[in-house]
Amino acid sequence: MTLKQQRSSGLTFAAVRTRKHTSALLLAGSLMALAGCSDSGSDADASPSMTGPTQTAGSSSPSSTADAEDSAVIAAYIRSWDAKTEAYQKASSADTDVKKYTTFKALTDIERNLSAMKKAGQVTTGKPVIHPKVVKVTNAEIPKATVADCVDTTNWTLIDKATKKKVPLPSERLIKYVSTATLEKWGTKWMVTELTAQDQAC
């Protein structure tokens, strides 16, 4: 499938914008965000070393099939974050799994951010912490899922690649913000198709 062209989300790294929605998405102009806020979710670290989803709602008996699907959705979501975090550490998606787990608008936004970061000579250090939870899985010709998350960027820092100094950020930015993600199932594989940071703390 080809990458669909979507309207710009306004999340660029190069220019430090002051409007809250943009600054909510991390650092100096913003890093793309994913998934919506979940207070009751478990603490899933979005580092590349993270291996599994921490929570999906549901028990493990009659709804075992639904539970397995929820787990697959969360696993794909986390891997997308892992790949994105790795890409932002070098301002490039090359030799990462970004395109393996992310597509359509979500991928367009990530690549736009990476291009702006590279041009500005910026990269990230540290890792975000995420708390994902499946909100809904819809069975259709192309199954879709919605994931809610609370993204904590406390230890995810934008720096100047040459000087290693932190890039100044808007003081009103949200350090922990609500984010939502939409995923689609292609065959047996879930793909993140859209990531939306909300102008809401969590």
Q: What confidence tens digit (pLDDT) does each residue in 137-171 have?
A: 999 999 999 999 999 999 999 999 999 999 999 98
Specify the pTM.
Answer: 0.72
Please report whether residue 5 resides in a domain: no
Domain count, the chain: 1
**Domain of 164: which CATH number?**
3.10.450
Residues 6+ apart with CB under 8 A from 169: 16, 23, 27, 28, 158
- 122 has a pLDDT exceeding 60: yes
Please report whether residue 7 resides in a domain: no
Two structure tokens written together for 98: 């970004």
List the helix and strand counts (H, then E) for the chain.
4, 8
Please report whether residue 13 resides in a domain: no
Interatomic CA distance for residues 60 and 154, integer angstroms: 34
SS3 (DSSP) at 120? helix
